Structure 1
Amino acid sequence: MSIKKRGEFWHIDIQAPDGSRVRRSTGTTDKRQALEYHDRLKAELWEMTKLNKKPKRLFEEAIILMLKDAEHQARFDYKQAHAEYFLRIFSGRDLSSITGEELTNSIPNFHADTKKQIANGTKNRYRSTILRAFSLAYKMNWIDAVPYIPRYSEPKVRVRWITKEKANLLIHNLRLQWMKDVCFFALSTGARMSEIFTLTWHNVDFVNRVATVTNENAKSGKARALLLNNDAIELIRKLRLRNNCEYVFTRSTNRRVYDIDRRDFKQACEQSGIDNFHFHDLRHTWASWHVQAGTPLYTLKNLGGWETLEMVNKYAHLNADHMLEFANNVTFTAQRSIGNTEINVSNG
């Protein structure tokens, strides 16, 4: 039998039915366990060759695929946390043996630290992470199908925007100058918070008036151009004169900013009479202003870096002017003349 002890562990040397050789350590010092591993592997090799059976793949291998795929995407830390969570449940399992029901039941319902109930939106992020792992495994031909995990219902998309007058008042009431700059830039470009605070001077093109959001900082994981309008380019030029940091937006100490000053933002909203307003709503405001000014939705999609047109349809109701010209193409009644008499005719 092709099993020998080398050093501390037993090793096997098997010739597969297709003529290839498999040489590896069994990882055990127990001869009985090594023999069992030898026989099981030999049987699997026969099934793979003669019955076209897929080789056994562990759950961990699919997780590694997912993490490699996501390593340059925004919020990679979320994916890592999700990976650690699912590994605690399915580590060591044959990937093809895990069912959709098991995966559905594994989605957490409560936060481990606070014991508070997890929102459906967060559950859907866990769902997306694990489905991505199985989808990549399917593309690698490791499994025959991707398990089904039902999506959790979420509240309708919240769109909150303010007028230009309110926006000016908000910026005026901000106490910190760097917060004024950040909010002004967000309203001028529609940039996301992560895109603003990771923007470096290296990625600003003053000549072509464009800033590049690199793939590791873009939400979609794909680099995109952030067009700088007159307001944005004027602000950027002023910042360049007083900024020696690698990053565009800094504190007065010339140190990089990682997050907004939430206290300053909240107080400015209260002083401006703006309720239920978050920093991300500045992006909604920018998009709403564009639609009201007549910017086509497809153009807005590209300007804002949304992946699908469906993501910008939530702003469509803000300007229906472009549809009014078609509204009278069909009317309920029409006037027809017979001789010198006018009569109303129903089109129904």
Structure 2
Amino acid sequence: MERSYKASMFSDESIFRWLHPLIAHVPLQEIDREMIRLLRDKKVQSGVRSSTVNRMLSLLRAVLNVASCEWGWLDKPPFIRLMAEPRSRIRYLSRDEAVKLLHELPEHLSDMAAFSLATGLRRANVTSLEWAQVDMHRQLAWVHHDEMKNRRALAVPLNQDALAILASRLRRHPRFVFTYKGKRINQTSTAAWYKAMRRSNIDNFRWHDLRHTWASWHVQSGTPLHVLQELGGWRTYDMVLRYAHFSADHLAVYAHNFGTHISLARTPLSDAPVTSEFVRRR
């Protein structure tokens, strides 16, 4: 109840469901470093990434800290060290790969994926999008502040691809834009999603990587990073710097400002006579 404002509450509840059968019967005072190590190892053995393990450890640490500092149920919370997370490359699709994937997906998922590629919206913002949040005439959609990860409302300009998708969804449901058999879609990473990826020969790709793809395409097309930050609704500029390597056009003019005009000798170094002058210069 005290943390109901969190944008990550849905994922927090999922972590709690995983933890419940393992520690629901354990008194708080007995959740020590050894038990936390066992929980960490069990999560690792399930085959998830270090980042997923760390989300579980971070949530557990936060709860134990609150139990100690705010609620007074613990004298001292145990120390919890997070796992090292190797930095991985931004995973994104080429244009051809995206077209193949969209063709392999069933219509309801294909529309949602294409809309994500056109707008960069996160999964939850797409699945919860309502017609009341769309203005086709102004070519604009918006996400309310309480639906955003950073708790700031976001205006979403709609390009022609996004407008075409919305036009195809008109009058299918009185409230929600994206539905399946008359009901709002909650899950996107379904069996149909994974089957479509296999048929498209695409691996190591998550639904959230559609947002990475959208951002990568923008930078490759010349969109400045500060503009991308506004379009994507990132709170800090540092969040968009991870896409900076996709474009160096703004640096090219500076690279050409400096030239050495040095002609490299064609004589192999091993064939050059070793003289006192040569040694001195080396």
Q: Report the TM-score, using the length of structure 1 for normalisation.
A: 0.60
Deviation, structure 1 residue 215: 4.0
| Residue of structure 1 in register with 2:196 after alignment | 268
User: Is residue 36–residue 80 contact of structure 2 (8 Å, CA) maintained in 1?
Assistant: no
Which amino acid is 1:211 matched to?
A
CA offsets 1:32-82 (integer angstroms, 9 cap, x no match): xxxxxxxxxxxxxxxxxxxxxxxxxxxxxxxxxxx513x133341443444
* From 207, 210, 223, the counterpart of 1:282: 210
Asked whether 1:109 is paired with 2:40, we answer yes
| Residue of structure 2 in register with 1:157 after alignment | 88
Deviation, structure 1 residue 151: 3.4
Q: Aligned pair in 2 of structure 1 residues 262, 79: CA closer, same or farther (>3 Å)?
A: closer
Which amino acid is 2:28 matched to?
S
Deviation, structure 1 residue 225: 2.8
Which amino acid is 2:222 matched to?
G
Q: Aligned pair in 2 of structure 1 residues 257, 269: CA closer, same or farther (>3 Å)?
A: same
* From 171, 177, 180, the counterpart of 1:248: 177
| Aligned mates of 1:198, 1:103 — CA distance in 2 | 40
CA offsets 1:91-133 (integer angstroms, 9 cap, x no match): 379xxxx9xxx56973621448x96366421232134335555
User: Is residue 182–residue 196 contact of structure 1 (8 Å, CA) maintained in 2?
Assistant: yes
User: Is residue 139–residue 159 contact of structure 2 (8 Å, CA) maintained in 1?
Assistant: yes
Q: Aligned pair in 2 of structure 1 residues 193, 117: CA closer, same or farther (>3 Å)?
A: closer
| Residue of structure 2 in register with 1:19 after alignment | none
Which amino acid is 2:219 matched to?
V
| Aligned mates of 2:96, 2:36 — CA distance in 1 | 48
User: Is residue 92–residue 209 contact of structure 2 (8 Å, CA) maintained in 1?
Assistant: yes
Deviation, structure 1 residue 230: 2.2
User: Is residue 40–residue 57 contact of structure 2 (8 Å, CA) maintained in 1?
Assistant: no
User: Is residue 215–residue 222 contact of structure 1 (8 Å, CA) maintained in 2?
Assistant: yes
| Residue of structure 1 in register with 2:231 after alignment | 303
Deviation, structure 1 residue 332: 4.5
Which amino acid is 2:178 matched to?
F
User: Is residue 213–residue 225 contact of structure 1 (8 Å, CA) maintained in 2?
Assistant: yes
Asked whether 1:325 is paired with 2:253, we answer yes
| Residue of structure 1 in register with 2:155 after alignment | 225
Structure with a larger share of its residues in strand: 1
| Aligned mates of 2:28, 2:123 — CA distance in 1 | 36
Q: Secondary structure, in 3 states, of the residue corresponding to 2:141?
A: strand
Correspondences of 1:81-230 after superposition (within 5 Å): 81-82=15-16, 91=28, 106=36, 108-111=39-42, 116=46, 119-130=49-60, 132=62, 149-174=80-105, 176-230=106-160
User: Is residue 73–residue 217 contact of structure 1 (8 Å, CA) maintained in 2?
Assistant: no
Deviation, structure 1 residue 279: 2.5
Q: Secondary structure, in 3 states, of the residue corresponding to 1:291?
A: helix
CA offsets 1:217-260 (integer angstroms, 9 cap, x no match): 333344433332222123213312x3224211011x22211122
Task: Tell me whether 216-225 or 322-331 shows the greater mean CA deviation.
Answer: 216-225
Count of residues paired in the alignment:
256
Q: Secondary structure, in 3 states, of the residue corresponding to 1:226?
A: strand
Alpha-carbon RMSD across the aligned residues, in angstroms, is 3.8
CA offsets 1:308-346 (integer angstroms, 9 cap, x no match): 333322222111111111123444468xxxxxxxxxxxx
| Residue of structure 2 in register with 1:79 after alignment | 12
Deviation, structure 1 residue 270: 3.7
Deviation, structure 1 residue 208: 3.5
Provide structure 2 residue ranges, at least 5 long, that are not aligned to the other structure.
Answer: 263-282
| Aligned mates of 1:211, 1:309 — CA distance in 2 | 23
| Aligned mates of 1:73, 1:260 — CA distance in 2 | 22
Task: Tell me whether 325-334 or 280-289 shows the greater mean CA deviation.
Answer: 325-334
User: Is residue 186–residue 192 contact of structure 1 (8 Å, CA) maintained in 2?
Assistant: yes
Provide structure 1 residue ranges, at least 5 long, that are not aligned to the other structure.
Answer: 1-66, 335-348
Give the percent of matched residue pairs that are identical in Structure 1 and Structure 2: 32
Structure with a larger share of its residues in helix: 2
* From 54, 68, 75, the counterpart of 2:2: 68
Structure label with greater radius of gyration: 1
| Aligned mates of 1:263, 1:87 — CA distance in 2 | 31
Q: Secondary structure, in 3 states, of the residue corresponding to 1:151?
A: coil
Asked whether 1:258 is paired with 2:189, we answer no
Q: Aligned pair in 2 of structure 1 residues 270, 92: CA closer, same or farther (>3 Å)?
A: closer
CA offsets 1:145-174 (integer angstroms, 9 cap, x no match): 998754321122342222223322322233
